Amino acid sequence: MRFSILTLGDNYAELRSHERFYQEVLEEAEYAEELGFDGFWVGEHHFQPSYRVFPSPQMMLAAISQRTRRIRLGTGVNILPLNDPIRLAEDLAELDLLSHGRACLGAGRGYQPHEFAGFHISMDSARERFWECLEIIRRAWTEEQFSYHGKYYHYENIALLPQPVQKPAPPIYVAAASQGSAEEAGRRGYPFACAQFAAAPTPQEVASQIERFNQSYIEAGHGEPPDDLPHVFWTHVADSATQALDEADLAMKRKLGSSTRQWVKPGVAGYEAFARLGQFLATATIEQLDALSIFGDPPRCVEKIRKYWQIGLKHLMVMFDWGGMPQRTIFHSMELFAKYVMPYFTDEEQRADSASHVK
């Protein structure tokens, strides 16, 4: 099993300046590499209402690339309808060069109305724009020269320079947060990444979603389905389960009390699942959130992850820096997770060693 870290850039200026938070995330990425995490991913969000401060995740990742040597660097996700696809293809190709071939593209269509309004883009067009953008990026990375004429984007004789280091292209993951999204990604030949709490909240539902993806991928003629399908979990580890839940409760109240007000409301076609999720999260108790998350002391976290490991999940993407938690708390959580949780899911020898710590 692989473990990556995702940051969405939750920050609250009354707790720490955005400048200070940027430095803390750079330090978090360095510590993630030191602890043995496989990847570090940064999300994209825009404008004050989101309380998220990375409008251009590829810029943060470029800075991280100069402080790390091994860890993979991914956008989690770029909101394709809000970006010019050629410029984004150029940015990520540049990141791939700066990082010596470590860049990954996580691609999503977005779900916050104020972001679309800020860029004067209709949310009704998001799905079509998303797939047009993704095709343009893929072709820019894999073709010497191409032209494209779609419903929303038109380009003539584009020859991207420089090209990415990775061939045929950096890995691409399509966000699957609504009904049928994983299957559509499979039909189009892309692996999917999933916010587990949004699309498939139980291990059984995750297994079913992966099975439907695999079937769609094979039936579309793409061959053997990929098994690197990152699933995202809110995560917090502390010395005791009670402490972890108390700290998570406080942070979740801050996080969800601000962010869910900005989520898409019922009535927007194609966003029904997100609207229902936003309504649920706005009033969810810590007990309900705990069922969707990895909260606890190391033994409790092992047991939670074991249920997903047993159904064949290969890649967990965990979020530590959310809800305004202080850096020392975040780093302690990362350390406990890396030392006493991750080893259980790597190989037999390490699993036995980990089990001796979590009994």
d(CA 238, CA 332): 7
Return the minimum-mean-pLDDT range out of 65-74, 136-145, 170-179, 238-247: 170-179
CB 158 within 8 A of CB 147: yes
pLDDT of residue 275: 72
d(CA 348, CA 304): 19
**What six digits make up the tokens of 94?**
């540049």
Number of Cβ atoms within 10 Å of the Cβ of 318: 25
* 105: enclosing H helix or E strand: strand 103-108
Domain containing residue 48: CATH number:
3.20.20.30
Q: How many residues does the chain have?
A: 359
**What six digits make up the tokens of 98?**
């700066």
Helix axes 181-188, 203-219, angle to 10 degrees: 30
**Would you call the peptide bond into 162 cis, given omega within 30 degrees of 0 as the criterion?**
yes
Q: 3-state SS string over 40-102?
A: EEECCCCCHHHCECCCCHHHHHHHHHCCCCCCEEEEEEEEHHHCCHHHHHHHHHHHHHHCCCC
**Would you call the peptide bond into 264 cis, given omega within 30 degrees of 0 as the criterion?**
no
pLDDT of residue 349: 57
Q: How many domains does the structure of the chain reveal?
A: 1
259 pLDDT higher than 50: yes
Q: Write out the residue range of the structural domain in which residue 269 sits.
A: 2-358
Backbone angles phi, psi at 176, to 5 degrees: -125, 100
- If pLDDT is split at 50, 70 and 90, which confidence band does 359 have? very low
**Would you call the peptide bond into 113 cis, given omega within 30 degrees of 0 as the criterion?**
no
Higher pLDDT, 214 or 275: 214
Q: pLDDT, tens digit, for every residue of 322-350?
A: 999 999 999 999 999 999 999 999 866 55
DSSP assigned state of 123: G
Return the minimum-mean-pLDDT range out of 72-81, 242-251, 262-271: 262-271
Q: pLDDT, tens digit, for every residue of 141-196?
A: 999 999 999 999 999 999 999 999 999 999 999 999 877 999 999 999 999 999 87
Average of per-residue pLDDT across 51-77: 97
